[in-house]
Amino acid sequence: MKVLLLGGTTEARRLASMIDGEADVVTSLAGRTTEPLRPAGEVRVGGFGGVDGLARYLRDARIDAVVDATHPFAATISGNAAVACGASGVPLLILRRPGWTAVPGDEWHRVASLPEAAGRLPRLGRRVFLTTGRQGIAHFAALDDCWFLARSVEPPTGTVPRHLEVLLGRGPFTVAAERDLITRHRVDVLVTKDSGGSDAKLVAARELGIPVLMVNRPAAPDATTVSTADAALSWLRTLDR
């Protein structure tokens, strides 16, 4: 059995390790970071060339199943995978970590997009902890009255806010470290995307009474969906009987 794993997440790397040795796995990475954490098995880097290119790859590489374990905000490749798999008759599974849910003590303001977040931000605070990834920073470039601490794996490129400090880092982070970071930089609002996974920064914001501007996830394709690598492996095993 040969599996194409659309990766780039912790869940994808865990699943690749679980599959490796039991089936042939090819993990596809988008190539947006120069030093990605490499999973077990074969790795390919870069896009497929849209729906037609992905469908052609599925055929030429004789792929038996696709697991979409990309970031919850990787809407383009997820949509392309759904269409290409449907056209090719290749089974598709979506592996998505659960989103975050507010609990008592949270002050969350949900928005549908990064541009909407930028529009609402000045009403919530002026010293901003921005954790939307380097590609999202440009949406806040016009906010000259705000100061930003932006954390990303690699430095941002293109247009950035006038008052910006960049902190390079790759999680997971502890609650204590996040609380110290927010306090030390006098942050008064956190901006993030509903990615799920480790929520240390959200716990720290709750403890410090900091409002959170939360960007909602895009809708996922209509396909079988699981939330853990173990469940994804069970699904693959049912196909290989």
Written as one string, the DSSP assignment of 196-228 is -S--HHHHHHHHHT--EEEEPPPPPPSS-EESS
Two tokens at 192? 């993030």
Q: Where residue 19 sits, what CATH number does that domain have?
A: 3.40.50.720
Give the domain extent around 16. Answer: 2-98+219-239
Residues 205, 226, single domain; the answer is no
Is the predicted pLDDT of residue 99 greater than 70, yes or no? yes
Residue 211's pLDDT is: 98
Same domain, 138 and 190: yes
Question: What's the N-to-C CA distance of the chain in angstroms?
Answer: 10
The DSSP H or E segment spanning 231 is helix 229-239
* Pair 94, 115 in one domain: no
pLDDT of residue 7: 92
pLDDT per residue as tens digits for the range 181-224: 999 999 999 999 999 988 999 999 999 999 999 999 999 899 99
Task: Kindly state the tokens that stand for 238.
Answer: 């049912």
Report yes or no on 103 lying in a domain.
no
Domain tally, the chain: 2
Give the model confidence (pLDDT) of 48-75 as tens digits. Answer: 999 999 999 999 999 999 999 999 999 9
Specify whether the CB–CB gap between 107 and 212 falls below 8 A: yes
Within a domain: 63: yes
Assess if residue 26 is contained within a domain: yes
The answer on pLDDT for 108 being more than 70 is yes
Distance, in Å, from the CA atom of 73 to the CA atom of 25, rounded to the nearest integer, reads: 23
Taking alpha carbons only, the member of 102, 109, 50 closest to residue 77 is 50
Instruction: Note the pLDDT of residue 170.
Output: 84
Residues 151 and 166 in one domain: yes
User: Residue 241 above 70 pLDDT?
Assistant: no
The answer to the question of residue 34 being in a domain is yes
Determine, yes or no, domain membership for 155.
Answer: yes
